Each structure stands twice: as structure tokens, then as C-alpha cells.
Amino acid sequence: MKNSLTIVIPNRNRDLNTVKRSIASIIPQLDDHVKLVIVDYGSPIAYQKELDSLMKSFLKVELILCPTQGQLWNKSRCINMVLKNTSSSHFMVCDMDMIWCPEFLEKEMSSLSMDASVYFTVGIMTQEESAKEKDFENYDIKFKTDDEATGITIFPTEQLKSINGFDEFYHGWGSEDTDAHMRMRNAGYEVRFRESELYFKHQWHGKAYRSKESKLPYHSHLERINHSYFTLNKTSNKVKANKQLKWGGKVCDIDAYSELNDPKLSLEQYATEEAVQGIIHFLHGTDVKDVIKIEVKEHPQSKSVKSIIKKATGKKTPRFMSIETVNEVLLEAIIMNHRDCAYNYGYDRIKEKIHLSINLISDS
């Protein structure tokens, strides 16, 4: 039987010139046995419209636009929503910033193994080189990645499905690629590194910086939490991910996100440990299957002289929390308990307010 391949490329707000160069290097290689799917996970709406227009200029590209602007980045979710429904013999994960060798698929498709995954070295280009328009072979690289860079991999589809795909715990920038390789090996599957041929060159891109005015969800310690979680998975020889929650889920159900604009229950709470823990346990155990809107703001007495004196003298006071700490605790609870739900989260650092709209129907 002839090999078939589904390629998934997750994206969030990558420069459209970078996107165009990357996709343009893939399109001529596609045939009836290769499917290319781009998943945009929560880029700004204006950007998604431009991306949609750009993708329509190419043939044979499927674009999934997820209305997850109010969520943390989740590369694993992008991958799994495509993996869950694919029937191809092999499944490839790639980054949006790659320029492909024009002969890659022609050379590799027939030799893909049903018994082993393979991942590839990448040539890293400078900022100046990345801005040039050249044929693949003429781009100069600064260095090649080693076997620790695991971002471009072709898996036998059924093997990857057998470990429940990529672990959707990883939000933000984490270790999801390396975690998937580790669990494949723990399951007894072979994962090979290919460095003899250079098939991919990485386009330079700047790091995204957040302004204080940004209301997008952000957790400053999440990368370290991801690393600790990965280390524990490695120590315990973990095989299957996503065992407590669904994986893949609905393909960004537009209706479920539209319903967020019409909450059936609105709650306002102050930033205390009692209130925040109450929110977490309420959401986790409630029988309410509807849209709930929650706002958390600084307690008006948290910085008062009276409260400071009462605390210093050992008198009982509310256990005040900073809004930053509330932000971290709530995001961690969402990741653990509600990442399958349609939700919209915002943190206004200027006004010191957090809002969460969550559709608990979408989790049923």
C-alpha cells in the first residue's frame, strides 16, 4: 500500500511574509497522497482574515481558524485536533517558520516506515539571510540543530494515536515535542534522528514581547512548570497523555465560542484566597452546564492601613491575594480542569481585574 501523509503546521501570529515563504516551499510538493493543514490558534482576528486571504491564493491547503484569542497558546491542541481525524498512514508535525527543500517529499515518501518515527535536523539562518529571496540550496545557514531539537517529525499515525497524541497540558512554549518522542520510546516504538540530509531551513523571527497594556492571558512561570512536568513524566516512564480529559476535541467549535457573549450566570469576586479557591472548586464541581462569566478584582481593603494593622496584631483578616497571583492560580486551574471548554480569559494589569467567560456546555 502506498504511503499517505497528513502535515499539520500550528500557527499563532507568525509574520505573514514568513508564512508565505514557508507555504510556497511546500505547495509544489503536494499530491493526492499528501494533505496540508494549517491550524491558526488565536491570532488576532484581523490577522486571521489576512491569513485566510493568503491561504486562498494557494491550492490544496486546509486552514482551520480557532477563535481562541483569549487563551494561552496550545501547540498540542493544534496538532491533536488534526491527528484525531486523520486516516493517512503517516502524520507530520512542522513549524511555520521552515523553508522546505523542494525534493523533500519526493525523496522521503516512499521510504517512510510503519515501524519508526523520524525527525530532522534544521539549518538555522540569520536575520539578514532570512529576509532574502533565494532558492532553498542557496540560503546560507549559521549552524544545524542536533538531536535535541525535535520540532519536525514524521510519525506512523496509529503509533502516535496509541499514546493519545501530544500532551495538551503544555500551554505556552513547552516541551510537547520532546515529550511526544519520549512517550513513543516508552511505548516501545523507535524514534530516529536524521542529520545526513538538510531538508529544512529556519527563518529568523523576533521574539514577541508583551506590553503592560496587553490584556491577553500570560503566566510568567509556565515554562518552568512545563519543564518540571516533563521531567516527572520522564522519570515515571509515562506513555499515554490526556487520560483525564479528552484529546483532540472539537475543531474550535465556533458556536461554543459565540455563546460566550451571552452568559447565563455572572459572578464578581474579590482577590482573596477564600474567593479564588471557591471559584476553582465551584467550576470543577458545578452542575451548571451553561456560560458563566466571572470577574475578579482587587479587594478594596487589601492595602488599607486598618487591614495591615489587624494582620500585624494577629487579628483575623481576609487572606488577600495580588491580582498577579490570582492570574497564575486561575490559569493553572483552567489548564488542569477546563482546557477542553470554550473560554475567553483576560487580565487587565492597569485596572487590576481578571475576567473569565467559560462555556461549560462545550465540555459535556
Condensed to tens digits (0 to 9), the pLDDT of residues 206-264 reads 877 667 778 889 999 999 999 999 999 999 999 999 998 889 877 788 999 999 999 99
Task: For the chain, give the mean pLDDT.
Answer: 93
% pLDDT > 70, the chain: 94
DSSP state of 69: T
Whole-structure pTM value: 0.93
Fold of 254-363: Translation Initiation Factor IF3 (3.30.110)
**Alpha-carbon separation of residue 26 from 16, 31, 97, 122 (angstroms):** 15, 11, 12, 16
Q: Where are the domains of the chain?
A: 5-235, 254-363
Q: How far apart are CA 290 and CA 288, in angstroms?
A: 6
CATH placement of domain 5-235 = 3.90.550.10
Nearest CA to 40 out of 91, 81, 89, 1 is that of 81
Q: How far apart are CA 77 and CA 323, in angstroms?
A: 28
pLDDT at 305: 47
Q: How far apart are CA 12 and CA 48, in angstroms?
A: 9
Q: What is the pLDDT of residues 306-347, one digit of tens each?
A: 555 566 566 676 889 999 999 999 999 999 999 999 999 999
What confidence category does residue 123 fall into, taking pLDDT thresholds of 50, 70 and 90? very high
Contact 296, 278 (CB under 8 A): no
